[in-house]
Amino acid sequence: MRVRVLLAALLLAGTVGLTRAQDKPLERADLDKRVVSSVYEAALIGTDIFNKGDHGGCYRLYEGTLLGVVPLLDHRPRLQATAKTRLERARKMKIADAAFELRAALDEIQNEIAPPKDAPKKALWDRLGGEAAVKAVVHDFVLVAIDDPKVNFTRGKKIDAAALPALEKSLVELISQTTGGPLKYTGKDMKAAHKGMGITDAEFDALAADLVTVLKKYNVPKAETDELLKIVGSTRADIVEKATGKAPEKLSIKPLWDRLGGEPAVKAVVHDFVATAAADKKVNFTRNGKFKLDEKGVAHLEKTLVELISQTTGGPLKYSGKSMKESHKGMGITDAEFNALAADLVDTLKKYKVPQTEIDELVKIVDSTRPDIVEKN
């Protein structure tokens, strides 16, 4: 614990600048810059400490930083009061929850004083807190859902406690894969996993409500909550089974994979898309000749692209390649090159007369990979 307190002290020493008696008081703008620098460094170090399992160390670092920073916010009374409230609230919480509470206070200080301008948006996985945070949320979510009669989690059967760890692991993987994380989902597709369960819209809604409750418990911001719920909502059609009678038009929409024409159509599009992109100088497909592909290499690339499109559009094929971040690491791909690649994809889709609605939907999925592919200078 002394190490965490020392870290906080060092951060604060940089904030106040160790001013001497004869020094002039810092201007508010300069003071704000140092406060932001301090809370940013604390958040960065604290996240690493938390993800390594030292929740208490993370909490003490955040607490020490805030105790030093709060007196420097007298020119921002609302922000100062909010930080004090969170400090008091955190002292009554479990240590991991308390760390989340104080991290929220640090983020509020940074975002109010220095809101990001044109900053590249992190993947949702990272904004949710990464693997450690998602595991904690999933664990509590499963327990809440099991106890919720509106969800009917066990479908009238007894709960198999031994199966819960595997379920939680699959959910963490699924969230990772759909939010830009590094973990690959190894379970069944949503339709196969829930076939025959007779899950209703009301039960799906109750499950989503339980997720919101747990996300609020962990102080997940509304923007990230809404973004995750949108992803969850996209699985409704594969999870909810309608009784006899006409299903609502909204839920009768086929998965994007089927609307693109399935495997034969996607293979044809991918083949032409790769050829087009390889010839496009704006894309720099081979990275100035560093990543040349022979015939077998092109065939393998096309196969993994088809799998990736299948997995992200509701198709039956599972992606067998590396994560986006890992497979593009060190390539130095720019936003302009990413945009050129997307434009080549749009041109190829139009060549195959894919409707604009499906084009827009696929391009949105492609764009969600941007943070993992583009490397900023």
Domain enclosing residue 305, as ranges: 256-373
Helical ranges in the chain per DSSP H: 2-16, 28-51, 55-69, 77-90, 95-113, 124-127, 130-146, 164-179, 190-194, 201-217, 222-233, 236-239, 256-259, 262-279, 295-313, 324-328, 335-351, 356-367, 370-373
Report which of 373, 375, 370, 361 is spatially closest to residue 121, judged by C-alpha positions: 370
187 within 8 A of 173, measured Cβ to Cβ: yes
Q: Look at residues 59, 84, 118 and tell me which one is the last residue of a structural domain.
A: 118
Q: Are residues 141 and 109 in the same domain?
A: no
Q: Are residues 241 and 129 in the same domain?
A: yes
Q: Name the binding residues for heme.
A: 328
Q: How many CB atoms lie within 10 A of CB 69?
A: 26
pLDDT tens, the chain, 377 aa long = 444 444 444 444 444 443 444 444 456 777 788 888 888 888 888 888 888 888 898 899 999 999 988 888 888 888 888 889 999 999 999 998 998 999 998 888 888 887 766 555 678 998 898 999 999 999 999 999 888 889 888 877 777 778 889 999 999 999 999 998 899 988 888 888 888 888 999 999 989 999 999 999 988 889 899 999 999 999 999 899 876 555 444 444 688 899 999 999 999 888 998 888 888 899 888 778 777 778 888 888 899 889 989 898 888 989 888 888 888 888 888 888 888 888 989 998 999 898 998 898 888 998 888 888 888 76
Q: Are residues 92 and 159 in the same domain?
A: no
Q: Are residues 341 and 283 in the same domain?
A: yes
Q: Are residues 199 and 218 in the same domain?
A: yes
Q: Look at residues 251, 285, 317 and tell me which one is the last residue of a structural domain.
A: 251
Q: Are residues 22 and 101 in the same domain?
A: yes
Q: Which CATH number fits the domain that encloses residue 344?
A: 1.10.490.10
Q: Are residues 192 and 114 in the same domain?
A: no
Answering whether pTM is above 0.85, one says no
Q: At what angle do helices 28-51 and 130-146 cross, to 10 degrees?
A: 70
Q: Are residues 297 and 268 in the same domain?
A: yes
DSSP letters spanning 155-180: TTS---GGGHHHHHHHHHHHHHHHHT
Q: Name the binding residues.
A: 328
Structure tokens at 38: 């301090």
Distance, CA of 372 to CA of 131 (rounded, Å): 16
Q: Look at residues 232, 251, 270 and tell me which one is the last residue of a structural domain.
A: 251
Count of structural domains, the chain: 3
Q: Are residues 148 and 96 in the same domain?
A: no
Region of 53 on the Ramachandran plot (φ > 0 left; ψ -120 to 50 alpha; else beta): left
